Amino acid sequence: MKKPIVEVINSYYPSLTNSEQKVAQYVLDHLDQIMYYSVNDLADEADVGETTVLRFCRKIGLKGYQEFKLNIAQTVADTKNGTKEKSDSSLSQMVLSNTLEALERTESMITDDDLNEAIQLLKRAERIHFFGVGTSGITAMDAKSRFLRIGKMVEFIQDSHLQAMQASTLNEQDVVVGLSISGSTRDTLESLKIAKDNGAKVIAITYFSRSPITKFADLVLLGGAKESPLEGGSLTAKISQLYVIDLLCTGLALEEKEQSLDMKQKTAEAVVNKIY
């Protein structure tokens, strides 16, 4: 799509149905916010169904909602480009402020009850599996390292095909932690569905409370940070994910304090000779 999204929407507006026009008008009125919305969020705000939003995206010549958000983000970025530049002296403060804001938002979104329930699920699990791809896959890899250090049987496979195959081998004794900021990552959702169908418990860590990943979750922990399609894998979102992982790992270690301390000692000794 070469034309700015606003021009495209305006050109198609007369041919849209009444409900699609409601979506179009809301988008035009809230352009700089839409790129942070899930499809469910936009449907709720425009007071239409999710299918209407998807139909609207196709009507204006786009393949789906993610391509629509990408075009919105590009339009907003082009509009803001060069209008307001930060000085070098304020750069570090700006990044720090954004990171702290993301962490504070994540802390406020997670309830003690949900956190404690997640810790108990992990405590009872025979095996813990982390599912995620892309940047969330990197977080999952870090989570595996953290949980190994306190002696938990934990797995993470980076390849999405192998992840799906692994999901098919799980049972009621397994707990899967699915990570996806958007909650709409297809590979992760498909693996979680397979795991859920085979009896595994699922904990979802996502930013959007009504995203598709929540349909497969026994428990949802809201964490992360809003990011536009142009910011995929932003550091603030990743730090917020790691914060949730740290909460789970620390909480589990406190539940099994003696075992965790013993395993931390053993795992540290196992790699001590690898450091000069």
The amino acid at residue 153 is M
Interatomic CA distance for residues 60 and 12, integer angstroms: 6
Between 37-41, 173-177, 247-251, the lowest mean confidence (pLDDT) is in: 37-41
The SS3 assignment for 174 reads: strand
Mean pLDDT of 196-218: 92
Quote the pLDDT of residue 228.
57
Interatomic CA distance for residues 73 and 5, integer angstroms: 10
What CATH fold (topology level) applies to the domain 5-80? Arc Repressor Mutant, subunit A (1.10.10)
With contact defined as beta carbons under 8 Å apart, do 56 and 13 qualify?
A: no
**How far apart, in Å, do the first and last CA atoms of the chain sit?**
54
The SS3 assignment for 202 reads: strand
What CATH fold (topology level) applies to the domain 93-274? Rossmann fold (3.40.50)
Return the percentage of the chain with pLDDT > 70, whole number.
91
Between 81-90, 154-163, 223-232, the lowest mean confidence (pLDDT) is in: 81-90
Quote the pLDDT of residue 74.
84
Q: Nearest Cα to 226, choosing from 236, 212, 217, 213? A: 236
Q: 252-264 pLDDT, tens per residue?
A: 999 999 999 999 9
Output the pTM of the full model: 0.73
Interatomic CA distance for residues 159 and 186, integer angstroms: 13
State the residue for tokens 């404690």: 116
Between 66-70, 117-121, 252-256, the lowest mean confidence (pLDDT) is in: 66-70
Q: 167-191 pLDDT, tens per residue?
A: 999 999 999 999 998 888 999 999 9
Between 103-107, 162-166, 225-229, 237-241, the lowest mean confidence (pLDDT) is in: 225-229
The domain ranges of the chain are: 5-80, 93-274
Name the token pair of 83: 């209008």
Between 73-77, 102-106, 137-141, 142-146, the lowest mean confidence (pLDDT) is in: 73-77
Between 46-50, 95-99, 247-251, the lowest mean confidence (pLDDT) is in: 95-99
Interatomic CA distance for residues 7 and 5, integer angstroms: 5
Confidence of residue 209 (pLDDT cuts 50, 70, 90): confident
With contact defined as beta carbons under 8 Å apart, do 69 and 228 qualify?
A: yes
